[in-house]
Chains A and B, each alone.
Chain A
Amino acid sequence: MTKADLADKIYEEVGLSKKEAAGIVELLFNSMKNILSEGESIKITGFGTFLVRKKGSRRGRNPKTGEEIQIEQRRVVTFKPSLQFKSLVEKV
């Protein structure tokens, strides 16, 4: 499933044009990207939470060359599925 399939679902259920539906799918994920990039987590009830975690700088190694490198502090996005989502797929 891709963004295009999600746009089709919206087209079927809400009655927007395909073009409008595609625009809104794009807008939703872009908004989420911007919010997360600002360091804010997003909680979607019944689905899960997109969490932004800060990672400190550390020394790492390039696994290919073995060369030591400094990994700067960074933000990472993780997803914690809701209990409802977890129980829905548990037995797939």
Chain B
Amino acid sequence: MTKSVLIERISEKVEGLTRKQTEVIVETIFSSIKDALAKGDKVEIRGFGNFRLRSRKARKARNPKTGDAVEVAPKKVPYFKVGKELREMATKNI
């Protein structure tokens, strides 16, 4: 399933909502989540899950092509923790 199929589904379910409007809405939602994390904020979607940043320590790695040792700087990565409701729904339906 891709974003466009998801947009299709939602615009079908809401009367009076065009595909174009739904597209803008879905884009707005996902870019707002990205922007919030980029500002260092957390995003909590009750029942679905939380988005926040996790820290990765600096580490030594190797360039797999040349074998040279390289320093990887510490960084932040996006992290999603599945919400209770989604976790339970996913498990139940197996």
Q: Give A contacts to B, CB under 8 Å.
A: 1-3, 5-6, 9-10, 13-14, 16, 21, 23-25, 27-29, 31-48, 50, 52, 54, 73-79, 81, 85-86, 88-92
Contact = CB atoms under 8 A, between A and B. Distances in A.
A36 B90 contact: yes
B69 interface: no
Contacts of B25: 10, 14, 16, 21, 24, 28
A42 B42 contact: no
B21 A31 contact: no
Q: Which interface residue of A1, A23, A73 has the most chain B CB atoms within 10 A?
A: A1
Interface of B: 1-3, 6, 9-10, 13-14, 17, 21-22, 24-26, 28-30, 32-34, 36-49, 53, 75-80, 82, 85-87, 89-94
Contact of A85 (B21, B34, B41, B44): B34
A29 B82 CA distance: 12
Nearest to A42: B1
Contact of A27 (B14, B46, B92): B14
B24 A28 contact: no
A25 B37 CA distance: 18
Contacts of A54: 94
A55 B72 CA distance: 32
B8 to A, nearest CB: 11
